[in-house]
């Protein structure tokens, strides 16, 4: 196997493992969210006790799962895709679509989100922004920090997708145009 293909495959696997680790780590928050949501309901409707901080924690966890799970979803093909044509493409055509889509659409979008969120996050950190609700969690600035982090992790996964596509395109064994990959 040529060196360029091995390098692309290695880089893609390395970046995939980062997305995999982050995605699997934050996925545990979904179980915690369900438990805390049940506790909030019981506190409110059985004991008539409000729990603003607990409700905020569910919002924080949901945001974390959504933002940091995006790269994991892309890695596992969980993104929304209009695949009227894509699903019938062979491996090489899919690789072209994935590479072009990542370079022309996904990476610029990640850059836009990353750079446009920096001032927003910086202002939040400057005042150590807290919840507007009484007894809410005082960590809004940490929550907002997830915006550029999510853009960065998604960009890394986009690079991994490009590397996978390039490895496919450079591999002489993937040139069979009649082969259709339904993965």
The domain limits of the chain are: 3-174
- Cα angle 88, 8, 13 (rounded to 5 degrees) comes to 85
Gyration radius of the chain's alpha carbons: 21
Which pLDDT value is given to residue 9? 85
Give the dihedral sign, CA 17/19/25/30: negative
* Angle (deg, nearest 10), helices 140-170 and 91-101: 140
Which pLDDT value is given to residue 77? 82
> What is the pTM (predicted TM-score) of this model?
0.85
Which pLDDT value is given to residue 182? 39
Which pLDDT value is given to residue 174? 58
Which pLDDT value is given to residue 175? 54
Which pLDDT value is given to residue 120? 95
Average pLDDT for runs of 10 along the chain of length 183: 80 93 96 96 92 92 96 86 79 90 95 97 94 88 96 96 90 56 43
Which pLDDT value is given to residue 176? 54
């Amino acid at each position: 196997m040529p060196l360029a293909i091995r390098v692309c495959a290695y880089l893609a696997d390395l970046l995939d493992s980062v997305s995999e680790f982050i995605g699997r780590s934050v996925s545990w928050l979904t179980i915690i969210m369900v438990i805390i949501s049940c506790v909030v309901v019981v506190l409110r409707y059985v004991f008539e006790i409000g729990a603003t901080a607990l409700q905020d924690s569910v919002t924080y966890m949901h945001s974390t799962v959504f933002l940091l799970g995006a790269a994991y979803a892309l890695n596992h093909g969980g993104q929304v895709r209009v695949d009227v044509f894509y699903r019938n493409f062979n491996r090489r055509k899919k690789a072209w679509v994935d590479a072009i889509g990542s370079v022309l659409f996904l990476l610029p979008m990640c850059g836009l989100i990353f750079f446009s969120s920096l001032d927003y996050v910086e202002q939040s950190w400057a005042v150590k922004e807290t919840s507007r609700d009484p007894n809410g969690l005082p960590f809004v600035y940490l929550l907002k920090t997830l915006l550029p982090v999510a853009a960065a992790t998604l960009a890394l996964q986009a690079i991994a997708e490009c590397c996978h596509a390039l490895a496919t395109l450079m591999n002489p064994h993937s040139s069979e145009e009649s082969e259709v990959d339904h993965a």
